[in-house]
């Protein structure tokens, strides 16, 4: 059985859509970058800490992930207010940014870790568009302050890399990691 160390409904839905069932056991860890830590190191560390924090039986596979948005080397986590979401959108509009997801799989004392990177280009946005989106409430639990699968889909001009990574979980990468770890998928 796969144990998803996340309370993200998007991650659970992405796995379900790929035919991968899981139990949910959220990991409550502090998500704060360390001094001198690169964004890639940050998401990889958080994914591993989440995988380590969850109780699991001998036959269970623990899957953990952490997603962040990076622009000009600055990590954009989840905004706590509409004002913070608007500030993030002002940084992202009319340019590209990276979406990084650290993924960690734990099984029988072994760990498999990867970082998926996707580049996203946003169209230039008018201030009233930024304000309206920030007020919508959608940005508040999303890294970088937007949901590419939601209202913000109209802002994403193009992406380079895995779309599902931007939603919150690089499904193909997870599938390959599970295969490498010896997980046996049921057909159908």
Report the catalytic residues: 66
Q: How far is CA 59 from the centre of its chain?
A: 26
Structure letter (DSSP) for residue 142: S
H or E segment to which residue 100 belongs: strand 96-107
Cβ atoms of 66 and 50 within 8 Å: the answer is: yes
| Burial class of 115 by CB neighbour count within 10 A (0 to 12, 13 to 18, 19+) | buried
| Burial class of 108 by CB neighbour count within 10 A (0 to 12, 13 to 18, 19+) | exposed
């Amino acid at each position: 059985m796969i144990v998803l160390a996340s309370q993200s409904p998007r991650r659970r839905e992405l796995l379900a859509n790929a035919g991968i069932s899981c139990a949910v056991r959220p990991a409550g860890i502090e998500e704060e970058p360390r001094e001198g830590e690169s964004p890639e190191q940050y998401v990889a560390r958080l994914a591993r800490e989440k995988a380590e924090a969850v109780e699991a039986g001998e036959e269970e596979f623990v899957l953990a992930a952490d997603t962040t948005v990076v622009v000009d080397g600055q990590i954009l986590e989840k905004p706590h207010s509409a004002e913070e979401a608007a500030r993030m959108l002002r940084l992202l509009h009319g340019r590209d940014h990276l979406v990084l997801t650290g993924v960690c799989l734990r099984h029988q004392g072994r760990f498999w870790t990867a970082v998926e990177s996707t580049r996203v280009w946003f169209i230039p946005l008018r201030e009233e568009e930024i304000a309206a989106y920030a007020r919508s409430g959608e940005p508040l639990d999303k890294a970088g302050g937007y949901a590419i699968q939601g209202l913000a889909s109209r802002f994403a001009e193009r992406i380079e890399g895995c779309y599902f990574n931007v939603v919150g979980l690089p499904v193909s990468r997870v599938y390959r990691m599970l295969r490498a770890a010896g997980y046996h998928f049921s057909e159908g």
